[in-house]
A and B are shown apart, each in its own frame.
Chain A
C-alpha cells in the first residue's frame, strides 16, 4: 500500500472514531493544538451527516425527542457510514436500523414512520415523465379496452403500512400530538405520487384499487385486471369500479402512457 493510500485510510478511520495513527502524521503548528485541528474535521464529518438526517427526517426527529434522536444519529453514523456519493441517499438505511437496533426495535411505529418519510422523498425527485389525461381514455374505441396496458409515472409507489405511521406523520406535520401507536389487523395501503405541478401527494386506497394498480405495474392488461378483482368485488360491479380507478389515476396525473394492443 502506498503512503498516500495509508494516510487516506488513517484519516477516514479517524473521522469515524476508529483506532488510527492519523494524529502522528500531522505537523505541529502552534498556537493551535493538533487536537483542535483534528477535531475540526471530526466534528464537521459528524455534523454534516447529522444535518442530512435532520433534513430528511424532520417528523421522525420530532417523534423521537432530543434524547432518542441523538442516540439514533450516533448509532446510524457509526453503523451505516456513508457509501454514497450524494447525501441524498445517506439515510436510506434508517428504517432498517430502527427495525433492528435497541432501543428503537421496542417501538414498531418508528421504522414505518421513517420509511414513509423516505417514500415521500423518493417521489419528490423521481425521474420526470409526461402524463396523459382523461381525454386519452375517452377517445379509446370500446373494442380495445380489454387489451390496454398502462405505464405509471416514475414517482408512483405503494406504501404498505402495518401500523398507523401515516396518521402519526400527519399529526406531527400539523404540530399536533401524535396518536398512540396502533398496529393494523391487515396492512393499509397508501398511494404516493408527484403531481404534474411537482407536489408530492398521497392517499389511502383499498385492496381492489391496489391490486389493479399492481397488476398494471406488472404489465397486465385491463381484462386480466378485472379478473383479478373478482376476489374483492361482485362480478357485475367490477367493470364500473375498474373504470373509476383508471379515471381517477388519469385525473391525478399518475399515468404516463396508455397502450392499446
Chain B
C-alpha cells in the first residue's frame, strides 16, 4: 500500500542544474531545496525556485536550526523559515539531529549530540517549540559522526527513535549517514535500519562519501556506493515506499548523470515493492 505522502524519487535542486530541471525532459518526481540558500530577498535563486515549484513538489531541508543547541532557539531564523514556507509551500520541511552553534559562534557543521536522557529531553523540547512556531510537524535527519562521547549511554538509533517519539516529529532517514557512522563506530548498519520506527520515516536521503579505509567522511561528492544501495534495499523492504532522493553537494556531475543514479534507486524500490507500479505520480503532483 503506497501512502499519500509518497512523492516518488527526487533530487536536491542545485544551481548548475536549474536550466536542465526546467528545460529538459526527465523523470525526476520532486526536488529538495537547501532552505538557507533561499533565505534571500530575490534574484536568480528565488526566480528559478519559483518556476521549479510551479511544476514539481518541493521539500525544504535546513542546516541551521540547531535543535540540539543549549542557547534559545533563534526566533528570527524561525520567522524567516516561516516566511519561506509561506512563499514556497513545500510538502514538508526538515533539519538535523545535531547542534551547529555554541558560544555565539556558528560552526556551519552538523555536530553530534551525546546520547543521554538529558539530551533527549532537551532536543525533543526544542523540536516541539520549533514545530509550534512554524505550525507544522518537521522531519529530523540523522547525521554522520566521527566521534562518540564517553557519557553516551545508548545507541544512536535508540536516541533518534526516542527524540522523534517524544517530540512527535517525523524522520528523514539518511542511509549514507547510517553507513558512514556504522563504519566509523563499528556497528552493524542493518541493526540501525531494523530498529527505526518505520511509521515516522517520511523521506530517505542517499549520497556518496569518501572512504579513507579506517574511517569514512560524508562528503556528498561521490556516487552512491554499493553497500549503501544494499542498505537502501533493506530500508525499502522494512519501510515500504518512502520518498527518496540523492543529495549531491560537491563535484556536481551533469544533471543526466544524477538522473541515471536516481533510476537505480527507482529500480531497487520497484524490485522490492510490486505495488509501486500502480502508483500514479500525477495524484501527488496536483
Contacts and interface: CB of A to CB of B under 8 A. Distances in A.
A127 B149 contact: no
B217 A29 contact: no
Given A4-B122, A124-B44, A84 B106 contact: yes
Interface string A185-227: 0000000001000100000000000000000000000000000
B215 A125 contact: no
Interface string B200-226: 000000000000001101000000000
B114 interface: yes
Interface stretch (A9-17, A163-171, A248-256): A9-17
Interface stretch (B34-42, B52-60, B275-283): B34-42
B161 interface: no
Interface string B2-31: 000000000000000000000000000000
Interface in A10-68: 11-13, 15-16, 25-27, 29, 31-32, 34, 36-38, 40-41, 44-45, 48-49
A194 B186 CA distance: 52
Interface residues of B, number: 47
B41 A48 contact: no
Interface residues of A, number: 47
B64 interface: yes
Contacts of B114: 4, 7
Contacts of B148: 26-27, 29
Interface of A: 2-5, 7-9, 11-13, 15-16, 25-27, 29, 31-32, 34, 36-38, 40-41, 44-45, 48-49, 81-88, 90, 124-129, 154-155, 194, 198
Given A7-B151, A27-B147, A29-B147, 11 more contacts: A8-B69, A26-B149, A31-B214, A32-B215, A81-B106, A84-B106, A85-B36, A85-B74, A86-B37, A124-B44, A198-B44
